[in-house]
Amino acid sequence: MKKQLIASLAGAFILFLWQFLSWGLLNVHGAEFKYTANQDKIMEALTQNIEEGSYMLPQAPPGSSHEEQQKAMENKPWALVSYHKAMDMGMGMNMFRGFVVDFVSVFLLVWLLLKSSSLDFKTALLASLAVGAIGYLTIPYLNSIWFKSNTIGYIVDTVVQWGVVGVWLGWWLPRK
CA–CA distances in Å: residue 102 to residues 12, 15, 17, 175: 5, 6, 10, 23
Residue 163 CB coordination number (10 Å): 16
Average pLDDT over residues 18-45: 94
Average confidence (pLDDT) over 71-92: 93
Task: Specify the DSSP class assigned to residue 52.
Answer: S
CA 173/CA 6 separation, integer angstroms: 10
Rounded to whole angstroms, how far apart are CA atoms 32 and 51? 24
* Res 52 pLDDT > 80: yes
Confidence (pTM): 0.87
Instruction: Name which of 14, 9, 55 is nearest 161 in CA terms.
Output: 14
pLDDT at 64 over 80: yes
Spatial distance between the Cα atoms of 52 and 80, rounded to a whole number of angstroms? 13
pLDDT higher than threshold 90 for residue 175: no
Q: Can you give the residue ranges of every domain in the chain?
A: 2-172
* Mean local confidence (pLDDT), 17-43: 94
Burial of 10 (0-12, 13-18, 19+ CB in 10 A): middle
